[in-house]
Amino acid sequence: MDERLKDLNLLVLYLSGWEEDSRKNPGQKLFRSWKGYPFEILNEFEQRQLITQHWKSKSVVFTEAGKRRAEELMRKYF
């Protein structure tokens, strides 16, 4: 898949996300987004350590690196 399409998928994933409290670590904030994207892309984002995902969850969690990359893409495209 074209790298620009991957970038745009990460950006849309980020733009449709939200911040919430961690259930496992009270006081910690997580940035989540729904998994409504091709699993091929989500799996690659996880391999690149931009997100984490759990098979039981319908959402993914952005890593700090993933949030930084998405914010870079926002500046680039907006």
The first and second tokens of residue 8, run together, are: 């745009």
Categorize the per-residue pLDDT at 1 as very low, low, confident or very high, splitting at 50, 70 and 90.
confident
Question: What is the Cα–Cα distance from 39 to 41, expressed in whole angstroms?
Answer: 5
* pTM for this entry: 0.87
> What does the pLDDT read at residue 16?
95
Q: Delineate the domains of the chain, giving CATH numbers in brackets.
A: 3-77 (1.10.10)
pLDDT tens digits along 16-63: 999 999 988 999 999 999 998 888 999 999 999 999 998 889 999 999
**Burial degree of 6 (CB within 10 A; 0-12, 13-18, 19+):** middle
pLDDT score, position 25:
92
Q: What is the pLDDT of residue 13?
A: 95
Question: Which pLDDT does position 50 carry in this prediction?
Answer: 98
